[in-house]
Structure 1
Amino acid sequence: MERALPPKRFTTPSITPFKGDFDPESHLSHFKSAMILYKADDALMCKIGNFKEFAIILTKEYTSYKTVRKHADHLFNLRKKLKESLQDYLRRFKAEKANIIGCNDQVASSAFKKGLPTKHELYRELAITPSQTLAEVFARAERYVLWDDDRIAAKKPDHPTKQASQKNNKFEQKA
């Protein structure tokens, strides 16, 4: 098949060449998005029969790099780790949820609660008032994060200089 002549004022789009080291469908989607501006036909988009044929060949060749899409039930596998802060668990949960397209908020709310230890005060509060939106669950978790920060700050000594001066006073009194 002959290559099509590019339209007037056509400039080749700036696209990172595909090296076979990531999802081929993502690369094809990016390429099509760039070429749609030019209303490009198959002959302009590739050197074989048609673009659809090219896409099938490329996808089959690099199928091992295809990104596996996660489903909402994946969130039920997330658990707050023993020494993990609530803030870190919340951040990790939100990142995982963001990777799930069309995730139902009610499912995400249930999964977030299920990932908390049953002895955690936030778990107890979420269990008592179960009909909350995901935004409300996250807002409540953020309040607990602030509360945890306050408790940690309260456990720390006021100022190291005060302690040092108190020790010096004790030493002077003994002498």
Structure 2
Amino acid sequence: MYNGKIDPIKHVSHFNPRMVVHSRDKTLMCKVFPSSLGPIAMRWFDSLKLDSINSFKELTQAFGSRFITCNRVPRPLSSQLFLSMREGETLKTYSDRYWEMYNGMDGNFEDVAISTFKSGLPTEHGLRKSLTGKPVANLRQLMNRIDKYKSAEED
């Protein structure tokens, strides 16, 4: 479902393979496309003037043009370098912010993610001390270690 928060071009590129069996029937593609739209995009679709769209290509171009502002610009790697845990912030909140930013980046930066997550923790934080004393080799290990500390923090 298109929720207005993702890239509209990506939405169309995910819609097309699901309709591959019917890809030659462009009329059917136009009729089924609205079923992939959430409430905001559906309001746009319902407001289209009758006979204003003549093809599936026109429909997807109009859709892309209308929701172009929903394109997410990938964050630069440097954005993670300045992210740190705020005073009074829980580990859960910090890690949620961190992974949201990490997931918004293009590319695979596991090594950088591990070191920047650790350096964003206060020096006296138990998790930072743990990561310094016993470094992790990959993101899965980091996430497991974070989960252990989040559980302890919640208790």
TM-score by length of 2: 0.59
Whether contact under 8 Å (1:43, 1:50) holds in the other structure is yes
- Following superposition, the deviation at residue 37 of structure 1 comes to 2.6
Aligned pairs for 1:28-47 (under 5 A) are 28-40=12-24, 45=29
Say whether residues 1:76 and 2:70 are aligned partners: no
Match for residue 97 of structure 2 among 86, 92, 97: 92
Contact 1:78 1:93 in 2 (8 A): yes
Deviation at 1:67?
2.6
Distance (Å, rounded) in 2 between the aligned partners of 1:72 and 1:124: 24
| Identity percentage of aligned residues | 27
Query: Any idea what SS the aligned residue of 2:19 has?
Result: helix
Structure 1 Cα separation of the partners of residues 8 and 119 of structure 2: 36
Higher RCO (C-alpha 8 Å, min separation 6): 2
1:126 to 107, 131, 150: 131
> How far, CA to CA, are the matches of 2:27 and 2:150 in structure 1?
57
1:85 to partner: Cα distance = 1.5
Q: 2:9 aligns with which of 25, 30, 39?
A: 25
| Largest Rg, 1 or 2 | 1
Cα 1:149/1:67, change in 2 over 3 Å:
closer
Name the Cα RMSD after superposition: 3.5
Q: State TM-score, norm by structure 1.
A: 0.54
Number of corresponding residues: 132
Q: Which amino acid aligns with 1:105?
A: E
Distance 1:31 1:127 in 2: 45
1:82 deviates by 0.8
CA shift, 1:112, in A, is 0.9
Which ranges in structure 1 are unaligned for 5 or more consecutive residues? 1-14, 151-175
One-letter amino acid matched to 1:24: P
Q: Which runs of 5+ in 2 are unaligned?
A: 31-52
d(CA) in 2 for partners of 1:26, 1:136: 31
